[in-house]
Amino acid sequence: MDSIDIIKKMPSIHCARGPKRCKKCKIMAEEEEKFCLIRVHLKSGKIARPMTEIFVGCRRIYGEYDVVKIFKNDRDAKEYAINNKKDITFS
Ligand SMILES: [Zn+2]
């Protein structure tokens, strides 16, 4: 398994530099966090992607991720998780 799909509340980030170093990211990160379907890569790739921490079972994984889908609201995210058997994390 090279990647894990998980639904998580994420700040909107526009590039890998993140809100600490990028003005545009900072502005976007101040907006409300939205549930996103993210794909966390277990091996680091060639492209610099933003990083996130997830828990799978009792394993803590820190890896690069891509945003696959952004949900309009919490209900959308929960329905998608059930219908597509995706993990959803509320932490
Ligand atoms: Zn940025």
Which pTM was predicted?
0.79
Residue (of 17, 5, 77, 69) closest to 42 by Cα position: 5
Instruction: Determine the distance separating the centroid of ligand 1 and the alpha carbon of 49, expressed in angstroms.
Output: 11
List phi, psi (to 5°) of 85.
Answer: 50, 45
What are the Cα distances from residue 31, in Å, to 9, 15, 54? 12, 16, 21
Instruction: Determine the distance separating the centroid of ligand 1 and the alpha carbon of 85, expressed in angstroms.
Output: 31
pLDDT band at 91 (very low <50, low <70, confident <90, very high): low
Instruction: Determine the distance separating the centroid of ligand 1 and the alpha carbon of 82, expressed in angstroms.
Output: 32
User: CA–CA separation, 12 vs 42, rounded Å?
Assistant: 21
**Chain segment 26-70, per-residue pLDDT in tens:** 888 888 888 999 999 988 778 778 889 998 888 899 999 999 999
Q: 């526009």: which residue's tokens? A: 14
Instruction: Determine the distance separating the centroid of ligand 1 and the alpha carbon of 50, expressed in angstroms.
Output: 10
The predicted pLDDT at position 14 comes to 81
**Chain segment 73-83, per-residue pLDDT in tens:** 999 999 999 99
**Chain segment 3-21, per-residue pLDDT in tens:** 999 999 988 778 888 888 9
User: CA–CA separation, 55 vs 21, rounded Å?
Assistant: 26
